[in-house]
Structure 1
């Protein structure tokens, strides 16, 4: 068996496949990973990956440090953001903040989140 690089992998060959083409070929003709991920998320009723990522990674910036200390995003499901709150009083507070937070999320992340579902963290009173 020869140790020569096949022509289709040789970077000196203008017809050589680039990394994205190799990945695409190995995935049975699927498109770029981000496109496939967004397609899957859409089928699951979720926002595009960039929106999901932004909501979770930029949470403290989006809602403010004080709110972020008590409210944690858990998941995006069927255009609804599920959050967990540290205390029952924060569940009440979230009802009042929901319209403002939805507007902020829509403007900042260009999301189509239509509501926020709140869950109280288990054992929140045992601290």
Structure 2
């Protein structure tokens, strides 16, 4: 993913470093990458789509997105290549290679 796991330190460490170590073990991206995707979601997809779709998880470069209605599945899939490109540009590395869309159960 463009980064290496941290060695076990002998003393205190920053919370971001600890989170990155856990993320590495779970095959998830660094904490900063997750913040880029989850915190900037509306900026990445736009206000209208953000009102109907939200990121659920990002593991092994697969982003899983939940939509509130099946009609938004097609829109999300149509936008997926652009979204992947935007996320990777914002993260300054290839962190997403595929996108899966799920409809939230009501």
Alignment match, 2:14: 32
**Number of residue pairs matched by the alignment:** 97
- 1:1-20 pair list within 5 angstroms: none
Q: Could you tell me how far apart the structure 1 residues matched to 2:43 and 2:77 are?
A: 20
Residue 45, structure 1, aligned to residue 27, structure 2: yes
Q: Could you tell me how far apart the structure 2 residues matched to 1:70 and 1:114 are?
A: 22
Residue 120, structure 1, aligned to residue 98, structure 2: no
Residue 61 of structure 1 aligns to a residue in which SS? helix
Counterpart of 2:50 (choices 57, 68, 93) is: 68
Return the index of the structure with the highest Cα Rg: 1
Deviation at 1:32, TM superposition (A): 2.7
Higher relative contact order (CA 8 A, sep 6+): 2
The answer (yes or no) to whether the contact 1:75–1:81 under 8 Å persists in 2 is yes
Show structure 1 runs of 4+ deviating over 4 A: none
Deviation at 1:110, TM superposition (A): 2.5
TM-score, normalised with respect to structure 1: 0.69
